[in-house]
Amino acid sequence: MQYLTDKQTADILGINNTTLKELVNSKKIPYSVIKSESGVEIKFNPYSIDDWLGKRLGLNMDNKKYVERLKKRLQSKYPDKLRELKEFDKKFSDPYEPKGYYLVKIDNKKLGFVYYVRYIKDGKLVPTRYCTHTNDEEAARNFAAENRERILKKYYERKTVKKPYADLYTILKRYYAENSSYLQTDAKRGRVLGENARAIYHNFIIKQFIPYLRKEKKKNIEEIDTPFMARLQNYLLADKKKDGKIIPGIKPQTVGHYISCISQIFDHLLIEGHIKTNPCKSLTAIKIQETDSKARGCYDVTKLKGVFNKRWEDQFSYLLCLIIYTTGMRNSEIEKLKAGDIITIDGCHFIDISESKTRNGIRLVPLHDFVYRKLSAYIKKNKISGCLFRHYPSSTYNTANLELAKHTGYSAEKLEKENITFYSGRHFWKTLMNSENLGDVEEYFMGHKVSGDVAKRYNHRDKQGKKKLLEKTRKVFQILDKRLFI
């Protein structure tokens, strides 16, 4: 048996809570006083209610539908008595008086909760609410009644056009966020930002630029000028001390990229008419010295002969290195590679890169038969239908790079000294093709932009037909057979 609450009992009997309370106070209805952790509660025994109205029946209170069934059964058994109760109920029912508002309880740290008022005008709910600054219901009702005209007048006289650029920190937090409306607007003007760059810029804004603004107590966009941006450059370049350790400053070239990402935000606001000048435009760029940047290295074109014919301990590293060193694809393109992207044209296999942030990135990349067989076996063994490789942290690529170094006799120190990374595989592929006098591979197979040369601008390679593509593809395969595979 499960006790009924006052709400359930009133609903079953078809009366309101005031009537039920009166019946309890006058002891005209059976009830029980139950002690619980929260205090003393009034509960109703369904058997006693049944006895009160008539004959006692066995009930199953575990069934959630019981309350509704009990209500219908009592209505059919005791219609006259229930009508009598309803007549009695009318004596305690307050007549409805439209107040034109209602109160809402909202949690509050200081008071536990406070009442907010929602107004009704012309039969419609005003789409806003106002704090009464009290948790006393009577005081809240007085506030709602006394301030109705003032609050509604203020609401309807408000400015209809919102200022989306009023809050400096809100703009900065949202500009490079995922699915940013700002970037979507910029994309219509031709500025398309890659997902990796977007994430890097967003991380910089959140973790470095905003903390620096707070440190300098900048609250408004108008407070940021060119001298301030110059100080930011110096701040980013400078070494910092944390927990007794010296953290090197950011390299000049990277600082330039970060200033550019901030400048883009100001360009957007300038075009939209929310600021008059971009403080980054008159900022003096940092000159990059030879010691500030280190050119990426790669293996000698004779160094990898037979490396991929050997057995590797780490098969995942093997596949990653095999793909980049035989196709020259970017890391991001490898991560997006799907089984369905591998196609065959006249006996030659290709990877169809159909999506890219640039027009030149959309291309067909030659896939050597040896690599094709390895990928096919990997797909079949792992029953892959989607992406062959997902996005991995940089440590995964570092592991693959070190695994390759074991088979070339290179130590980790030598890799660092010559600046050979996983991405060096792309450099190696280009260097290998050039060493065999196979030109234009940057445009054909690597997805680079066409240079500013007029002749190249007027030479549409995508219109040269399948024959030219296959000729260069077979030449690529010959070079790989000669220099890479045994």
Residue 161 resides in a domain: no
- Let me know the angle formed at the C-alpha of 178 by 229 and 219, rounded to the nearest 5 degrees: 35
The whole-model pTM stands at: 0.51
Q: Are residues 326 and 386 in the same domain?
A: yes
pLDDT at 356: 76
Residues 346, 465: one domain? yes
Do 194 and 147 share a structural domain? no
Q: If you average pLDDT over residues 460-480, what whole number do you get?
A: 79
Q: Which residue has the higher pLDDT, 371 or 193?
A: 371
Judged by DSSP in three states, 54 sits in coil
CATH code: domain of residue 476: 1.10.443
Whether pLDDT at 444 is above 60: yes
**Residues 312 and 453 both lie in one domain:** yes
**Per-residue pLDDT tens digits for 362-404:** 889 999 999 999 999 999 988 888 888 765 666 888 999 999 9
Going from the C-alpha of 38 to that of each of 25, 35, 87, 108, 230, the distances in angstroms are: 22, 8, 34, 21, 63
| pLDDT tens string 450-464 | 555 544 554 445 555
Query: Are 322 and 420 in the same domain?
Result: yes
333: nearest Cα among 254, 423, 420: 423
Do 182 and 262 share a domain, yes or no? yes
Counting Cα atoms < 13 Å in the Cβ hemisphere of 482 gives 11
pLDDT tens for 208-219 read: 999 999 999 888
Shared domain for 62 and 145, answered yes or no, is no
Write out the residue range of the structural domain in which residue 234 sits. 168-271
Helical H runs in 1-132? 6-13, 17-25, 46-53, 66-77, 79-90
127 and 55, same domain (yes or no): no
CA-wise closest residue to 468 among 348, 307, 380, 326: 348
Q: Are 378 and 411 in contact (CB under 8 A)?
A: no
Asked if residue 74 is part of any domain, the answer here is yes
Window from 16-25, 248-257, 400-409 with minimum mean pLDDT: 16-25
In a domain, 290, yes or no: no
pLDDT tens for 63-83 read 556 677 778 888 888 999 888
85 and 109 assigned to the same domain: no
* Domain limit, last residue, from 136, 156, 176: 156
| Domain stop point among 44, 61, 90 | 90
Q: Are residues 63 and 121 in the same domain?
A: no
* CA of residue 158 relative to chain centroid, distance: 33
429 or 73, which is more confident?
Answer: 429
In a domain, 233, yes or no: yes
pLDDT computed for residue 230 by the predictor: 92
From CA 275, how far away is CA 217, in angstroms rounded? 20
Question: For residue 96, what pLDDT band results from cuts at 50, 70 and 90?
Answer: low
Helix (H) / strand (E) containing 352: strand 348-353
The verdict on residue 1 lying in a domain is no
Establish if 279 belongs to a structural domain: no
Query: What are 42-71's pLDDT values in tens digits?
Result: 999 988 888 888 754 443 444 556 677 778
pLDDT tens, position by position, 160-173 = 544 444 578 888 99
Nearest of 100, 106, 134 to residue 118 by alpha carbon:
100
- Report if residue 294 sits inside a domain: no
Check residue 125 and give its pLDDT: 84
Q: For the chain, what is the total number of helices (H) and then of strands (E)? A: 22, 11
In a 10 Å sphere around its CB, with 0-12 CB exposed, 13-18 middle and 19+ buried, how is residue 97 labelled? exposed
Total domains in the chain come to 4
Q: φ and ψ at 433, to 5 degrees?
A: -65, -40
Of 156, 183, 203, which closes a domain? 156
Residues 151 and 207 in one domain: no
**Residue 120: pLDDT above 80?**
yes
Same domain, 199 and 115: no
Task: Specify if 84 maps to a domain.
Answer: yes
